């Protein structure tokens, strides 16, 4: 019997170690310069052959493991998931089917761990993983450059997630230059129980007359110098986010008190992260922050590459669940 293909893929979240705005564009977007770093807080995607009655059958659930965590605010950090058709992952697979003339149906299970409205790029990560998984599942043979064209149609951050690791992202975020040879980092993320709307944060932002430079941050990162890095991890969206949600104000001091001097908000928020080169320091800081019950608190590695976790042939009769 010919086995049906099952593709499993991890979709890692990201933080922004630097985010500067260079101007507002006529299309309403902002030109920016950001260093995106993937982290090993991952959603998980499983693609299997579907039923002909539905071209894309998507089921999305929060990972039950999250609720078991010792995190008081976990329940409020993980709000109900949006309807499946609004899911960027669904749009990514529909776009691949349409543009590549695919007519074989797919069944998708999405296990969510990345919180929503968090500035961690969860929806974009899922969409990029769907493009990579769909490309393999339907044997389309598209290159990363070809997938990037689809990615840019879905969202500004999606192209980054086709690469993962460290990358400089420019334009509205879709022009991606992967950066090699940057040192691995340890990252602590706190997602408060409230989220922030990306369009709203951008609407309230101001373009600086004198933009910050990324080079000193990259030098400090290469030198593994936390003291130098502390002053260079910039996010131009912090001020508008704080103006919208004053509860963010508690986070910088909480990270300092937990022993992490390098900290900043991720993307348009509401997640706040700390970075260190010392694993034990990260684990200790996460424990302190968790005890303060500021929100869902996660600790793990930064700089994780995107890619297939496993792709295997499995017999049809194991696919019924
Ligand atoms: O591209 P994406 O759909 O992820 O963007 C969401 C919203 O964020 C946009 O509608 C826009 O309001 C804002 N945005 C922006 N400039 C960017 C990226 C996003 O203004 N570079």
List pLDDT tens digits, range 62-114.
Answer: 886 655 444 434 444 567 777 877 899 999 999 999 999 999 999 999 999 99
Residue nearest to atom 19 of ligand 1 (CA): 29
156 Cα: distance to centroid of ligand 1 (angstroms)? 7
Residue-averaged pLDDT of the chain: 90
List pLDDT tens digits, range 135-166.
Answer: 999 999 999 999 999 999 999 999 999 999 99
Contacts by 146-155 with C-beta closer than 8 Å and gap 24+?
A: 148/174, 148/176, 150/92, 150/95, 150/96, 150/99, 151/92, 151/127, 153/95, 154/88, 154/91, 154/92, 154/95, 154/124, 154/127, 155/88, 155/123, 155/124, 155/127
Instruction: Report the atom number in ligand 1 closest to the C-alpha of 171.
Output: 21
| pTM, rounded to two decimals | 0.92
Residue nearest to atom 12 of ligand 1 (CA): 199
Q: So what's the pLDDT on residue 4?
A: 55
Our mutation pick for probing the ligand 1 site, out of 14, 121, 199, counting the most ligand atoms within 8 A of Cβ, is 199
Ranges of the chain whose pLDDT falls below 50: 1-3, 68-76, 308, 310-321
Q: So what's the pLDDT on residue 62?
A: 87
Q: So what's the pLDDT on residue 252?
A: 98
Is 156 close to ligand 1, i.e. is its CB under 6 Å away?
yes
Our mutation pick for probing the ligand 1 site, out of 198, 235, 237, 269, counting the most ligand atoms within 8 A of Cβ, is 198
Q: Between vectors from CA 105 to CA 99 and to CA 106, what angle results, nearest 5°?
A: 100
Q: So what's the pLDDT on residue 310?
A: 41
Instruction: Report the atom number in ligand 1 closest to the C-alpha of 198.
Output: 8
* One-letter-per-residue 3-state SS of the chain: CCCEEEEEEEEEEEEEEEEEEEEECCCCCEEEEEEEEEEEEEEEEEEEECCCCCCEEEEEEECHHHHHCCCCCHHHHCCCCCCHHHCHHHHHHHHHHHHCCCCCCEEEEEEECCCCCCCCCHHHHHHHHHHHHHHHHCCCCCCHHHHHHHHHHHCCCHHHHCCECEEEEECCCCEEEEECCCCCEEEEEEECCCCCCHHHHHHCCCCCCCCCCCHHHHHHHHCCCHHHHHCCCCECCHHHHHHHCHHHHHHHHHHHHCCCCEEEECCCCCCEEEEECCHHHHHHHHHHHHHCCCCEEEEEEECCECEEEEEEEECHHHCCC
Is 32 close to ligand 1, i.e. is its CB under 6 Å away?
yes
């Amino acid at each position: 019997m010919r086995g049906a293909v099952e593709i499993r893929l991890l979709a890692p979240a990201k933080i922004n170690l630097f985010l500067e705005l260079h101007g507002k564009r006529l299309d309403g977007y902002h030109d920016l310069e950001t260093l995106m770093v993937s982290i090993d807080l991952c959603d998980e995607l499983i693609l299997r052959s579907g039923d002909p009655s539905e071209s894309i059958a998507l089921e999305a659930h929060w990972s039950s493991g999250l609720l078991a965590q010792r995190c008081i605010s976990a329940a409020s950090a993980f709000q109900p998931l949006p309807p499946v058709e609004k899911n960027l992952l669904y749009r990514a697979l529909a776009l691949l089917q349409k543009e590549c003339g695919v007519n074989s149906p797919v069944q998708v299970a999405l296990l969510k761990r990345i919180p929503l409205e968090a500035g961690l790029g969860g929806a974009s990560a899922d969409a990029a993983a769907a493009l990579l998984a769909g490309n393999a599942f339907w044997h389309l043979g598209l290159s990363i450059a070809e997938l990037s064209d689809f990615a840019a149609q879905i969202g500004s951050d999606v192209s980054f997630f086709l690469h993962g690791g460290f990358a400089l992202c420019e334009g509205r975020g879709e022009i991606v230059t992967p950066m090699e040879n940057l040192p691995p980092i340890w990252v602590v993320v706190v997602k408060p129980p409230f989220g922030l709307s990306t369009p709203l944060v951008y609407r309230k932002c101001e373009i600086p007359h004198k933009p910050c430079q990324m080079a000193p941050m990259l030098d400090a990162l290469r030198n593994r110098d936390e003291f130098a890095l502390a002053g260079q991890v910039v996010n131009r969206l912090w001020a508008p986010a704080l103006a919208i949600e004053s509860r963010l104000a508690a986070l910088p001091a909480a990270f300092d008190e937990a022993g992490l001097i390098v900290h900043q908000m991720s993307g348009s928020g509401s997640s706040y992260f700390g970075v260190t080169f010392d694993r034990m320091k990260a684990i200790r800081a996460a424990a302190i922050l968790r005890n303060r019950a500021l929100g869902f608190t996660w600790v793990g590695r930064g700089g994780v590459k995107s890619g297939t976790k496993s792709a295997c042939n499995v017999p049809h009769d194991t696919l019924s669940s």
